Amino acid sequence: MLPRPPTRITLALLKPDLSANNLKVDKVFAHIQKNEFNILAHKKLLWSKADAEAFYGEHRGKFFFERLCGYMTSGHFHALILEKPNAITDWRALIGPTHPPRARINAPDTLRSLYGMTDTRNSFHGSDADETAKSEIRFFFPEFDIAQWEANQAENRV
């Protein structure tokens, strides 16, 4: 029997503009399943300004910081831990380019093309690297034991 390929985890956010419409959320969950992601954890959240500023702190001082924090506190949103081989790359490919109008031209089958509105109201977030994913997962899911998940992955590969 061939060893199972290693799996990865990533943080996925379904942002407030999308989360305001349950039908759209259901369709996105169908896309997630169709693309063979395992959902390891899921929370529906409503942020305070302090929460948004803490998560997006690296962008403080940039022209879009206040607009982004205002957007992320405008309503409920969903945070998910997704798992599969190449989770980060595959999730980012599924959501598509950051700017939805460009996505409609260059990547019309992506989620941002289907559901995003503007570069700020682009409906989705995906971690960009393994370490970023772990840090972001710890922010949203402090109860999720990444070390235990990694140990389980190592056991299951044998």
| Residue 15 assigned as binding residue | yes
Q: Which is the catalytic residue, given 42, 59, 76, 125? A: 125
| Residue 112 assigned as binding residue | yes
Residue 125 among the catalytic residues: yes
Residue whose entry in the numeric block shows the structure tokens 């790359």:
89
CA proximity to 47, closest of 70, 67, 20, 23: 70
| Residue 60 assigned as binding residue | no
Residues 100/43, Cβ–Cβ less than 8 Å: no
Helix locations, the chain, DSSP H:
16-19, 22-34, 49-55, 65-72, 87-95, 100-106, 111-115, 130-140, 146-157
80: Cα separation from own chain's centroid: 6
Q: Write out the H or E segment, with its range, that includes residue 130.
A: helix 130-140
Annotated binding residues for ATP: 15, 64, 92, 98, 112, 122
Q: Which residues are the active-site residues?
A: 125
Annotated binding residues: 15, 64, 92, 98, 112, 122
